[in-house]
Each structure stands twice: as structure tokens, then as C-alpha cells.
Amino acid sequence: MSPSERLNDLRAALRQHGVDAVVVPSADPHLSEYLPERWKGRSWLSGFTGSVGTLVVTADFAGVWTDSRYFEQAEQELAGSDVQLMRLKLAHAPEHLDWLCARLEPGQVVAVAADVQALAMQELMQNRLGACGLALRTDLDLVAKIWDERPSLPTAAVREHRSDKVSSTRRERLARVREAVAAAGASHHLVSSLDDVAWITNLRGSDIPYNPVFLAHLFIGPEHAILFVPPGKIPAELGRALGADGIVLADYGAATAALSALPEDTRLLLDPRRVVHALTDSIAEGVALVRQVNPSQRFKACKTAGELAQIRQTMRHDGAALVRFLIWLEHNVGSGGLTELDIAAQLRQLRAAQPDFVGESFATIAGYMANGALPHYRASAGRHARIEPAGLLLVDSGGQYEGGTTDITRTIAVGPTSEEQRRDYTLVLKGMIALSRARFPRGTSGQQLDALARAPIWAAGIDYGHGTGHGVGYFLNVHEGPQSIRPPAAGDSGEPLAVGMVTSNEPGIYRPGRHGVRIENLIATVSAGGGEFGEFLAFDTLTLCPIDTRPVERDMLEAGERDWLDWYHAQVEAELSPLLDESAQHWLAAACAAL
């Protein structure tokens, strides 16, 4: 069936159930960023495959709201269809609600499935739509009613995170969470976000592409915890180990019944942005809800000294693979047959040869020239570019290792570059260096620091439409909260950066139809000492890979920026040379030569 035929079936379901509009978010029952096939309803209906977007369908309209990272991709994927691209202008602004209020009449009905809608979003929709006289129904999953061949639940087995790579035991993590739950005045805790479940239990899975997590809800009580997981996914020996640590196994679908049976004196801590309405709606009356961020969000964000040591070793191996890739690229770019698909395949092969490699941390973005202007571009067999020995190639890639998660972007001059390309490249480099060198008082958030990376780019009258940095997990999701580095959003002061947090640093410039530039390293927040004005923090760069200096307009760099780049390259050469053969060492020495 085509998207148009699927939309026709959906509209028939709307008429059958007396619904005037349906909202299909990009979400699963755990509000994951990347989804198992079973919950890719928005993509299945619209044809738009980006990871962020909300589909709204009425009797005579269908539109996908997405942000600037996906504008060009959405235009291409929706071209010729009945689905309109609706451009989100502000980050985190649900503008589809404004549209619904403007287009529907009081008394009309909007539906959204409760199992893919966060409690916080459900309450926002209820208030916004109710103020316009619209009714909200969450008891209908209209997509499920028309999706006859909907994929089933993933079946891959769950396993332990290797004991030599973890910093604390399951018992210790459960105790730490329970202590935070009690301090918040709660007796029990419901955890649905998959990376939180994986971190607390020291378990890993493969239910979501590129993210080593598994479908489960975790209910933590004062003495015991219940792990609601699809049957057959926990091997018997692992089940016994979990039982010894006070974790009982239950069927994935039994979570709602368990919540409905809670006694009235229960005080349940949950995160309204990380638990779906279908679960909260089943909670027994009389149960008091304690609403706050999952304690494990902050615990797992602050990596221990042992975890950071593992990450640094992982970065060495990942960096060695990247150097071999850059050498291969240099030798093959003039062949005339190299494509973006070859870039992704070669990176995958070289990373797979490294110790403790598990898989990629996301689908490699290899964008040559105009394709590099699509921040989340992905080459496919039907749509990819041949790489010519001229201009810029943007490569954003990463790996999942037992000892950490990597994410790196390099923009590479594959031949002669234009003045505009070199200027853009140097502006992005200046922004990345500015954030790398930041020193700031404890309590500072990424929203306060975002302007440091943008300032050199703003000075040239340019901006970019995505955040500057996201948290990164420890052999977990490559996009992790609660911290981020992005422009301020209304009503959100941002999570303060804390020692041990690992965050990306990735400013960019994108010129549609011409080229894109992004340079990304991962940085760890570290203590920078203190005095009469309190403690200060700084960033320590973790990523180890040469930054291409061929497109740099050197007279645009100030002395301090040149010094930082020379220092960084000295670190890269010292750390990676021992892992390379003599020929690669010579190449690395030239790539890391001081400006």
C-alpha cells in the first residue's frame, strides 16, 4: 500500500469512530527517540523517515511537523504525496496544537494513542485543546486498527553488561535509586525510559537499532523490584541472577494491572516526560504521584572515574579506526567510483576490527557537498552521491563499545575547496574551539554556554538550526539526557553541567544545495578548581582524531585558537601512534602537524 492508501484507511477509521483529527507522534511506550519497527506508525503512514516529527491527519489534511534538521529530507520524502511539510519554528514548541485549535470547530474530537503519549504531553494537549473547546480521546489507537501487518515485538535476548566494564553492581544502583526515591518523599518508583532501565539493571539488549537497550518497564519498591519484559528475552541463568538481586520478572503487558493494584498509601515517583499516559491512567485511585526527573537520569549522566577511563581507552581504539579510514579515503577519493555508501561501509568494517566493538551508535551520515547540508542525511541504495576529488565531505559516525559510546563528525576536504567553503569551515572550527576552551562556574547550564559556540558564526551573520551538544551514554544511547547544549527554551532553564557528564560539541553551517560543515568532538565536564567565587568547571576533550587543517583559513584564527588546535593534535598523535603501523604513523604525524 502507498502512503495515500494508508491515509485513506485512516480517514475511514476516523469517520467510523467519530473522530475529526488524529495525532501520530514519533514515539513508543517508552518515549524512545529511535523506535522498534512496531511503533514506526508515523513513518509508515506518511513516508517521512526522520526521527523527529508529528503527523496530524483530518478528513481533508495530512501534515508532518518537524524541525529544521529535517526540512530538506522531509521535502524530498514527502514530494508528490498528500502529506504537507509543516516547519517547526521553535524547538520544543508543539505548533500542531495551535493548528488544531485554529482549524477545528468547538466540539470536535482529536485522538492520540495513550501508549505513545507522555503524561506531560497529554496534560498539555488536554489543556490547550480544551481551552479551544476541543475534546481529546486517548482510548483509541487508530493506527493499530488499520495496520494489519504491524511488526511484532522484538525477540532478541537480553544480556549483562560485562562486569569488567561496569562501575557499580545492580544492587548498588538499586540502593542508590531507592535512597533518592525516599528523599523525594516517595515509596515506589516507575521507570519506563529504556536507557534508565538498562543502567539500573546493568543489562543490555538490541531491541532498538544502534541503542543497546531492551523493551521493559521497571517498578522499584522498597524491598523488591519488578522487571516487566516480553517473555523469553531473559535467559534462565540471568533470571536467577536478577532474582538474587531482588528483581522479579513479569510479563511486559502486565505493568498496567500491577499499577492498578497498588494500595492507596503508595507514593509513586515518576517522570511525566518519560512515562506514557497509558501507564499513568491505570494507576489506582488514591495513589499519590511524586513528579520529578528519574533520579537515574542524573546518576548515569555523571560518569565515574572508572567509566571515564574506559571511555578514554575506547576513544583510542575508535580514533585508530578513524585514522585508518582517513588514509583509505585519501587513497581512494580520486578513483572516480567512490560513493557515500562506501564511506559508511568502510567505517563499519574498520570499527568492527577494534576490541570490544558491539555495533554502530547510529546510522553513519556521509554527505558529499549538497548532501552535507542535510544534518541528518542518510545515503541509500536509491539515493546517494558519487564523491569527486573536490569540495567537502561531511562524515558523522559513531560506535557502541563495551567500554563506551562514540560520536564524531569530521568535515574533510576531498580536493580543492572554494573560498566560501573554507570560510564556513573555519567559522565552525572557531565555534567548536570556543566551547572546548570554556571555563564556567558550577551550576551553569548548556543553555548558557550555547552562545559561545555560535558567537563566531553569528558574527558572520550565520546560524544553524540544531543544538550544539547532547549528552552521550556509557555503552547506552548516543543521545542522552538530562543535559544539553542548545539555545534557551521558554520555561526551561536547562540542566546544570556536572563533573563526569559527557556531551557532544558540534556547531555547524549548512548551505542548502551547496555544502555543509560540522565538526564534532565529545567533551567531559571536569573540575577546574575554585576560590573565593566558588568552584569552576571546564571541558576535557575525549575524542581523538585529526581535524582537517587543509580547509582552514589560518588568518581567521586567533593565536589562542591556533594554540588549542596544535595542543589537540599533539594529544591525538601521542595517543594514537602506538596503535598504528609505521606508515599510518607517518600519515598521522603530517595530519597533526602544528599550524
* pLDDT value at 266 more than 80: yes
Q: How far is residue 48's CA from residue 403's CA, in Å, rounded to a whole number?
A: 34
Q: pLDDT tens-digit profile of 383-437?
A: 899 999 999 999 999 999 999 999 999 999 999 999 999 999 999 999 999 999 9
Torsional class of 565: left (φ above 0), alpha (ψ -120 to 50), beta (otherwise): alpha
Q: How far is residue 217's CA from residue 255's CA, in Å, rounded to a whole number?
A: 7
Instruction: Determine, yes or no, domain membership for 153.
Output: no
Q: pLDDT tens-digit profile of 474-518?
A: 999 999 989 999 998 766 778 999 999 999 999 999 999 999 999
Q: 343 near 329, Cβ under 8 Å?
A: yes
Residues 276 and 344 in one domain: no
Tally of domains within the chain: 3
Q: Give the chain's mean pLDDT.
A: 95
Q: If you search the block for the grid coordinates 564511506, which residue do you land on?
A: 343
Name 355's Cβ contacts closer than 8 Å, sequence gap at least 6: 317, 401
| pLDDT for the residue 382 | 82
Apex 536 CA angle, 531 and 538, nearest 5: 145
Of the residues 115, 146, 177, which one is the last residue of a structural domain?
146
Residues 443 and 585 in one domain: yes
| pLDDT for the residue 491 | 67
Instruction: Determine, yes or no, domain membership for 151.
Output: no
* pLDDT value at 91 more than 60: no
Q: pLDDT tens-digit profile of 275-290?
A: 999 999 999 999 999 9
Q: How far is residue 429's CA from residue 417's CA, in Å, rounded to a whole number?
A: 16
Instruction: Determine, yes or no, domain membership for 549.
Output: yes
Residues 308 and 293 in one domain: no
Residues 294 and 306 in one domain: no
Of the residues 112, 146, 180, which one is the last residue of a structural domain?
146
Q: pLDDT tens-digit profile of 512-569?
A: 999 999 999 999 999 999 899 999 999 999 999 999 999 999 999 999 999 999 999 9
**pTM beyond 0.75, yes or no:** yes
Instruction: Determine, yes or no, domain membership for 107.
Output: yes
| pLDDT for the residue 93 | 59
Residues 234 and 121 in one domain: no
| pLDDT for the residue 545 | 98
Of the residues 146, 167, 196, which one is the last residue of a structural domain?
146
Residues 274 and 403 in one domain: no
Instruction: Determine, yes or no, domain membership for 574.
Output: yes
Residues 331 and 477 in one domain: yes
Residues 265 and 336 in one domain: no
Instruction: Determine, yes or no, domain membership for 152.
Output: no
Q: What CATH number is associated with residue 269?
A: 3.40.350.10
Which range of residues forms the domain containing residue 350?
302-591
* pLDDT value at 92 more than 60: no
Q: pLDDT tens-digit profile of 336-373?
A: 889 999 999 999 999 999 999 999 999 999 999 999 99
Q: How far is residue 333's CA from residue 363's CA, in Å, rounded to a whole number?
A: 22
Residues 256 and 123 in one domain: no
| pLDDT for the residue 490 | 67
* pLDDT value at 572 more than 90: yes
Single out the residue of 363, 37, 317 nearest to residue 210, CA to CA.
363
DSSP state of 390: S
DSSP 418-443: -HHHHHHHHHHHHHHHHHHT-EEETT
Q: What are phi and psi of 3, to 5 degrees?
A: -55, -35
Residues 471 and 440 in one domain: yes
Instruction: Determine, yes or no, domain membership for 567.
Output: yes
Residues 296 and 307 in one domain: no
226: cell is 519488578
Give the mean pLDDT of 291-319. 97
29 pLDDT band, cuts 50/70/90, is very high
* pLDDT value at 68 more than 90: no
Instruction: Determine, yes or no, domain membership for 545.
Output: yes
Residues 110 and 232 in one domain: no
Q: What CATH number is associated with residue 576?
A: 3.90.230.10
Q: 426 near 552, Cβ under 8 Å?
A: yes
Strand 62-66, strand 84-87: pairing: parallel
* pLDDT value at 306 more than 70: yes
Q: 389 near 361, Cβ under 8 Å?
A: no
Q: pLDDT tens-digit profile of 436-481?
A: 999 999 999 999 999 999 999 999 999 998 999 999 999 999 999 8
Q: 538 near 523, Cβ under 8 Å?
A: no
